[in-house]
Structure 1
């Protein structure tokens, strides 16, 4: 289902907006930094879903852009049969951040979706925006154009939040194969959570309204189906689940409004808390992201705070868009990667014709521990031992993050001065070393905490204990 949270700059202690969240998927997750690339004339990309998807379709090829932007994202290997690698979003060199969140459509739309649907799936849209968009509004317009030209391959309805330093847009894509979508602008005074993504009343009588965009058929199709005959156009009631803001959304939006009302407003630790709290985050969360939506002096200095799995059991560390490498511990591993259960790190299998028996994961990665897997171990220990683990683990994470946040500002200042002096490579080297060091420090902290809790678990839990999995009390 996933989760996203946008906080406008007027609520921010540091004067810029924030976008945070996580993805809800069962498979492995890994961090990637994708370089800017020039593509040959006529290059194509394959998009959509195949017959094996939960809501089946037909894969198609669409034109690739001549140039794609540098960006960083978290990828994963499985969700409802959507072809891997999949992404919910990240941050690009133009300062556009993306979060993808499920948003179910009404049952009628799901049932009328063609069984041979074609077009871009939710991950395709998130990836293409990261590759091409230079503004949040431009991201909406890009998706609208692609859907109009090529269609959308749905899994029942979806949404995105696209954000830049000035504004954000919530875009809902509805099932049904009709190219239906709507988008709402979020400004400096907005606080908006998505899980699911929602838009309520749309001013359809004012097509020039600056805060809303929608597909040309949004109203006419509803009229033709008998779902709308005038008056306020509540798009959630007409095309969505008619539930409005779910309980978890209402709770976290109220909590963040309370924090925004304080003299100190909302800072990094508040955004991290909102992505970490056990009321919202558990085993389904595959990672954590918090993006400060700043206008960097150079795109290489743009930062995304990353947690290796659900932030309930993983500390956040900064990753810079300009850095060239990330530790293999945070890259792809075979653990929970779809398809790896029947593959080998053995080239003889390829020689004998068993192409699909060769692992897709670099062997170097498998020589390292996996941050995602180690964080999962800590999560399960915390859940097994109960609420008493939350305060000490989160306090340790908070100390790590506060220390790194202070160091981050110093490193950014040094890097900015170095770039002004023409020492670009040296600036990137400093930032890369800092980020990689702190990512490894975060992993070390996670493993040490897990070691301590495992001792408690050995004492507190019978060796033959079975039964249902234990988790914290989540709102959703």
Structure 2
């Protein structure tokens, strides 16, 4: 289902906006840097879903642009048959951040979806915005253009939050292959959580704060789903699940408004809390991201805080746009990667079926999988929440405060190097320092997990039933 939360700059202790969230997917996740790339004239890319998807469709191609932008993203290997690798978003070199969040369409729209649906899917849209958009509004316009020209492939409806340092937009894409979408602008006074993506009442025609295609309202009238005489157009009631704002969304938005009302307003650790609290985050949260929406002195200094699993038992660690590589431990591994159970690190069967060879390089597979290590720690803590969960949570929140302090010095040092045109040295510094933070945290997780297993075993608390233990969550 996924979760995203945006906080406008007027609520921020540091005077800038924030975007944070996680994705709910059971398959493997890995952090990666997509470099800026040049593409030849006439190049194209494959988009959409296949006949194997839960809502089947046809793969198609769309034109590639001459240059795609550098960005940080988390990829994963499976969701409802959507072709891998899949992404829910990240951060690009222009400071555009994207979060993908499920948003169910009206039942009749889902039933209208033809088996030959085509056009970009939700992951394609998130990736294309990261690759092409220089600000949030460009991202909205890009999605609108792609749907109008190529259609939209869905698994039941979806949404995105697209944000930059000036504003953010919630964009909802609907099932049915009728090219229906809507976008709402979020500004400096906004606090908006999405789970699912939600837009309420919109005006009769597009405005500075609401965008939608010309047929958006007339289609609903034609279907008998909306009568203008009965009141304003409520997007959720007409095209969505009809449930309004979900309980968990109301809870976290209210909690963040209370924090925003304090003299100190909202800072990094409030944003971390919003995606790490055990009320919202458990095993289904595949990773965590927090993005400060700023324009630093150099694009290389843009930061995305990243957790390899749900941050309830893992730290968020700053990674830089200017990094040249990600530690192998945080990259792709065979653990929970769809299809790897039928593949070998052995080429002898390749002549019969090339897909019998693992997609993971042997050199990467022999490193520790950060996702596997932190998942182990998570489920140890969940089996003995008192005191393990509280201790683990507190440990990582202290680590993040240390990273925050060190981040200031590292950023300042890199700024000095960049001002002297020492780009290579600056990128080397950013790569080494972030890699050190990531690797040190992983070593701590290994130690904590080994100690936690002994405590759980010694207390006779290993849960061998068919029902996993977890915190009480609001969703």
TM-score range relative to shorter protein: over 0.9
Alpha-carbon distance in 1 for matches of 2:148, 2:464 = 55
Deviation at 1:387, TM superposition (A): 4.3
Match of 2:467 in 1: 468
Q: How does 1:46-445 map to 2 (within 5 A)?
A: 46-204=46-204, 206-207=205-206, 209-230=207-228, 231-350=231-350, 352-445=351-444
Task: Give deviations 1:290-336, integer Å, cap 9, x for gaps.
Answer: 00000011111100000011111210111001110111000000000
Normalising by structure 2, report the TM-score.
0.98
Alpha-carbon distance in 2 for matches of 1:55, 1:109 = 12
Match of 2:35 in 1: 35
Deviation at 1:463, TM superposition (A): 6.6
Alpha-carbon distance in 2 for matches of 1:52, 1:87 = 19
- After superposition, the Cα gap between the structure-2 partners of 1:464 and 1:200, relative to the gap in structure 1 and judged at 3 Å, is closer
Alpha-carbon distance in 1 for matches of 2:198, 2:463 = 45
Q: Contact 2:114–2:176 at 8 Å: present in 1 too? A: yes
Q: Using the TM superposition, name which of 386-395 and 211-220 deviates more.
A: 386-395
Provide the alpha-carbon RMSD of the alignment. Answer: 1.0
Alpha-carbon distance in 1 for matches of 2:432, 2:463 = 45
Deviation at 1:467, TM superposition (A): 3.2
Count of residues in correspondence between the two structures: 473
- After superposition, the Cα gap between the structure-2 partners of 1:125 and 1:393, relative to the gap in structure 1 and judged at 3 Å, is same
Q: Using the TM superposition, name which of 412-421 and 89-98 deviates more.
A: 412-421
Report the 3-state secondary structure (helix = DSSP H, G, I; strand = E; otherwise coil) of the residue aligned with 2:465: coil
Q: Contact 1:315–1:446 at 8 Å: present in 2 too? A: no
Q: Contact 1:345–1:358 at 8 Å: present in 2 too? A: yes
Alpha-carbon distance in 2 for matches of 1:463, 1:394 = 20
Report the 3-state secondary structure (helix = DSSP H, G, I; strand = E; otherwise coil) of the residue aligned with 1:14: coil
Report the 3-state secondary structure (helix = DSSP H, G, I; strand = E; otherwise coil) of the residue aligned with 1:296: coil
Task: Give deviations 1:32-65, integer Å, cap 9, x for gaps.
Answer: 0010000011111000000100000000011111
- After superposition, the Cα gap between the structure-2 partners of 1:427 and 1:179, relative to the gap in structure 1 and judged at 3 Å, is same
Alpha-carbon distance in 2 for matches of 1:177, 1:10 = 39
- After superposition, the Cα gap between the structure-2 partners of 1:463 and 1:380, relative to the gap in structure 1 and judged at 3 Å, is closer
Task: Give deviations 1:189-210, integer Å, cap 9, x for gaps.
Answer: 1000000010000012x43x21
Report the 3-state secondary structure (helix = DSSP H, G, I; strand = E; otherwise coil) of the residue aligned with 1:365: helix
Deviation at 1:464, TM superposition (A): 8.4
- After superposition, the Cα gap between the structure-2 partners of 1:75 and 1:464, relative to the gap in structure 1 and judged at 3 Å, is closer
Unmatched tracts of structure 1, length 5 or more: none
Match of 1:450 in 2: 449
Alpha-carbon distance in 2 for matches of 1:467, 1:65 = 50
Alpha-carbon distance in 2 for matches of 1:217, 1:445 = 55
Q: Contact 1:346–1:358 at 8 Å: present in 2 too? A: yes
Q: Contact 1:36–1:70 at 8 Å: present in 2 too? A: yes
Q: Contact 1:2–1:100 at 8 Å: present in 2 too? A: yes
Q: Contact 1:387–1:472 at 8 Å: present in 2 too? A: no
Unmatched tracts of structure 2, length 5 or more: none
Task: Give deviations 1:56-105, integer Å, cap 9, x for gaps.
Answer: 00000111111000001000000000000000000001110000000001
